[in-house]
Every structure is written in C-alpha cells, then in structure tokens.
Amino acid sequence: MNRLSIKMALSVVTTAADDPYDWRFRRVKDFGFKSHLLTQMKQRFPDAVLRDLDRSFIDEAIIPTYSRAIEAGRPTLELVRTKLLGVRIGYERLILPQKSDGKPGWCISLVEGRFFISPMRDAKTDITDDNIIQLLIEGQTTKEIAEALHLSPRTIEHRIDKLKSRFEAKNLVHLVAKLVASQVGRKEKESS
C-alpha cells in the first residue's frame, strides 16, 4: 500500500449477498491529499452497506460496473465521470473480483483520482467541461487531456475555445487564471 500515490484510494466491496444493495463498502486506504470536499464526502460516504449510501451514485457508478466485473470474473478498468453529493468527480477505477469458481465474495477497487471539483456557479458546464477545467488547472496539455478523457485533441480544443468565450478569456493562460479565481473566490464566500 505504500506504493499508492496520493491520488489513489483502495477499497473492498463485499459482494456475497444476492441483492447488490446488501453489498458492503469498506475503505482500505483513502486518498493521500487533503481537501475540504474529500473530507465532506468521507463523512457522507462511510463504510456501510450500499443501500445506506447515496442511491444515485450507487445506481450509476457502483452496482452496474461491479456486477459486470463479477459476471465476467475478470478485472475491469474504466474511466468514471459522475457526480457524488453535488461534486463532479472523475477517476480511473480497476475492479478486481475475487477468483472463485462461483460468485466472488468480494471485489477490490483501486481508484486513481483525475478531478474532484465543485460545480461553478458562474457558468453552466457539463462533466466533460469540468474534466477539462480540472486538467487545465493541473497543467495538462490538450493532447494529455484528450488521452485522459478518451476524446480527440480537436474536440478538446473546440471545448476549450467555448470555455474561453464563455469566461471571456483572451487566451488559455487567462482562462485558467479565471477558472482558478472563480473557484477561490467562491470558496472564500462559502467560508464567511
């Protein structure tokens, strides 16, 4: 576990029950970075049976993928872009079901965080725009963003141009500065 980066988390989902809502989620190792939003999510998403957790997230991002991994009986790797407790999140997830002749009793999930941002009030953005915003703030190039999001570089360029127009930014550096400022300004208002 010491080899996991700060952007990685490890969890186990016990899948022995026939009803997926009776499966149990348990954290083994949390993300290593500190974030107010991450702390809030941990409090609202504790170790528990799935039926006691955020139902829309469980129905969208947990049960379908784990069910496919269990049925296939082999590891599943995917890029997840979803919303949890009002925060847009994106991560790559590797699900490793227990090797067994029958139904696996558990699955290990290794997650590497890609973005983790609150929705901005200044402009309407979709999950892909939020991904692009986060990756721009992290300093990634258009090509790197395209690879991470499994989109073409031209699609990313087009979306960046729309973001520049929406935020009235003169260039990419100006856009990133405005995006960062909008997040910082909003967080300062929320804490006062």
Q: Is the residue at 25 inside a domain?
A: yes
pLDDT digits (tens, 9 = 90+) for 148-169: 889 999 999 999 999 999 888 8
Residue 119: the pLDDT is 53
Do 103 and 166 belong to one domain?
no
The number of distinct structural domains making up the chain is: 2
Write down the pTM of the prediction: 0.63
Using one digit for the tens of pLDDT, what is the confidence trace for 16-64? Answer: 999 999 999 999 999 887 666 778 778 888 999 999 998 988 998 899 9
- Cβ distance 31 to 38 under 8 Å? yes
More confident residue, 108 or 140: 108
**Does residue 3 lie within any of the structural domains?**
no
Distance separating alpha carbons of residues 94 and 61, to the nearest angstrom: 13
Q: Are residues 111 and 139 in the same domain?
A: no
Better pLDDT: 4 or 47: 47
Q: What are phi and psi of 23, to 5 degrees?
A: -65, 155
Whether the per-residue pLDDT at 118 is higher than 60: the answer is no
Of the residues 71, 92, 117, the one at which a domain ends: 117
Residues 6+ apart with CB under 8 A from 159: 128, 129, 132
Query: DSSP for 83-144?
Result: EETTEEEEEEEEEEEPP-SSS-SEEEEEEEEEEEEPPPSSS---HHHHHHHHHHHTT--HHH
**How does residue 4 score in pLDDT terms, banded at 50, 70 and 90?**
confident
Are residues 102 and 14 located together in one domain of the fold? yes
The alpha-helical segments, DSSP class H, found in 78-167 are 127-137, 142-149, 153-166
* Shared domain check, 109 and 75: yes
Residue 190: per-residue pLDDT: 45
**Pairing verdict, β 8-14 and 106-117:** antiparallel
